[in-house]
A and B are shown apart, each in its own frame.
Chain A
Amino acid sequence: MRRSVANRLTPYMFLAPAAVIMAIALLYPLGYMIWGSFRDWNPSQTIGEAEFVGLKNYVTLWNDPNFHESLGVTLKFAFFVVSFEMVIGVGLALLLDRDIRGMSVLRTLFILPMMIAPVVVGLMWRYMYHPTVGTFNRFLEDIGLPSVDWLGQHALMSIIIADIWQWTPFIFILSLAALQSLPSSALEAARIDGATGWQQIVHIKLPLMMPVLIVTALLRLIDAFKVLEVILVMTQGGPGLSTEILALRISRTATEFRELGVAAAMSNYLLMLLLLLTVAMFAFNRLQEIRAARTRAAAEEGV
């Protein structure tokens, strides 16, 4: 009898630690943040001492040109980063999807950039972009070209390049895995029909990979909104606000401008934006899945 009670309680005991930790260290803080976003709150006050100001923080941000600029930079950054990485990563996967010796070594080397701390990635690139001692300008000088003001005039482009370097391998590895798990029957059928390599890619491989590619793109998109350390180390958001993505602006608002309430409101805007994007991507994914299923069925039937 006692045994069965214990058995019935077991799942709860197994789940309890995780549930407790998530509740106190994730859910409660998020609620606390929403609560704080309605207050005029500075870091030397506890939240109880802060004055309730209603929606003021949200309205202030809505009309704040700096916030708009930062939002624009964030969207631009996320868009370019994800599109370039998808194109390059998937392209490389299609190119390297063959039976070569040393493929595992190659993959190992490719994942190296992802594993290294963002802070270190930032400092490596900051060095390489350095206007006088940096690798790139030295190289340009050596071959007789004018030097480029990487982290000055072209700061946004430069941080996008650094991110592409770090995260394209992620897309590459996932697309490669997807490619290698494609049903061989469909490809075989296409080959028998005399489809060229290019036709195979466009009509068979890409559509079949689509569900995975969308999840991959979504994961990258979400992560692109989280990038902070690399930019912090490379440009600190400058020059001006040209590379100050929202994550960085939140942290500056909280620490430098000492406006925790505004930072909390900004965090909420960011969360809402991410939620919107995720839902949109999911809807799109469902649509694609249905279409992919149809393609797959058609491909298998078409033998």
Chain B
Amino acid sequence: MVVGKSESFTATLQEAPLIEPGHSYASMTEKISDIVLTKPHPRSWAIVFLTGLSLLMLMLYAVLYLFIRGIGIWGINVPVGWGFAIINLVWWIGIGHAGTLISAILLLLHQDWRTSINRFAEAMTLFAVACAGLFPILHTGRPWLVYYLIPYPDTLGLWPQFRSPLVWDVFAISTYASVSLLFWYVGLLPDLATMRDRAKNRFARVIYGLFALGWRGSARHWHRHQVASLLLAGLATPLVVSVHTVVSWDFAMSIIPGWHATIFPPYFVAGAIYAGFAMVMTLVIPIRHWYGLQDFITIRHIENMAKITLATGLIVCYGYLMEAFMAWYSANPYEQFMMHNRQFGPYAPVYWTLIFCNGVVIQALWFKKVRTNVKILFGISLIVGVGMWLERYIIVVTSLHRDFLPSSWGMYAGTFWDYATFLGSIGLFLTLLMLFVRFVPMISGFELRELWWKLNRSAKDEASDKAAA
């Protein structure tokens, strides 16, 4: 798909290959499609799927109980009106961002190394957004009326209150979900056709055929596909920045010390990409191992992701520093108290764990040895995931629990149902992901073939040029 002009990039990225040598078009296609069509799935798949499914059942139970009893089953109260639901929303939305960044921005920047991980990352985005999208609905007191947030012409002539960031959220997240879905699906079309063609089972052929929308691989198809992909990439690009910016406004537009800060949008976007890449690594490292995909998702990919994690992680740390600095510099006693309370108050252990996860641990990524050691990377990416969840915990809880009037100060802690819903959302994510791995080629076959062609052509051209000389 990416045509030409990539020599300089590939030249600089020579150290480790993007595709291990010894592959052909056929071997790559076979390897990718066989995972779905013929190869038995490893036991690990079944374990993860069943774990995910059980957690999903737990979530269904928790949600059912929530609908029957009311939101009081959670740990929220006055003053802490938002709890796990909002933390989880922000966390999941953030995780999704890596997928969009990989598929859209890296595409536009001609980063070839994205090819073997973009399908996977996009799927992750989609599922993360699905998880995220649940929470705003669940967290309302009357979820059956949540459509009030959507601008529709009702008979009372009532509209949402457009000054509220929560309304912007509705737009941002729904746009994000639709563009992500579209982008992912459009990118999937040629591979769905491949699956249709390779499937032995008639049922599978029909299903894949339906979803392939009659793809025949004609030059016109390819041309239109490429245009559509680029357009969608262009559409998705601003979303990488805008969605989390809008989410951050949920906080920044309020007057609560610890929320009301202009640094929030960039800080949140960086945090999102940071968490997202960590999540991609968390998922890719074991799956690559289980399905023997080391040839396509090479150490080079992993290392590049580690680098981005480090870079965005440092931006996030800068955000922490700036928050503390601005609290002091503002001379606002409420801000100063908030910062002091965060660092030395009852939630100080959470704060310092967060600083450890996001500030200290990632410094290991400066070292190539760490970046190329998948086991350590896996550990670090898990820690980053935890760190980012704690970051949202700190932002949501410590800002609210002690705000302006000390008489109203309170404490917050999640209940069993909070944890059940959170773990359940992880269950939903894992279930969807495992189904994706099971039924859809998790690596973009056609893009990989294109990359192979590009890489090999340039070598051949060089050889023929030499010969000519």
Partners in one complex: no
A residues sitting closer than 8 Å to B (CB atoms) are none
B residues sitting closer than 8 Å to A (CB atoms) are none
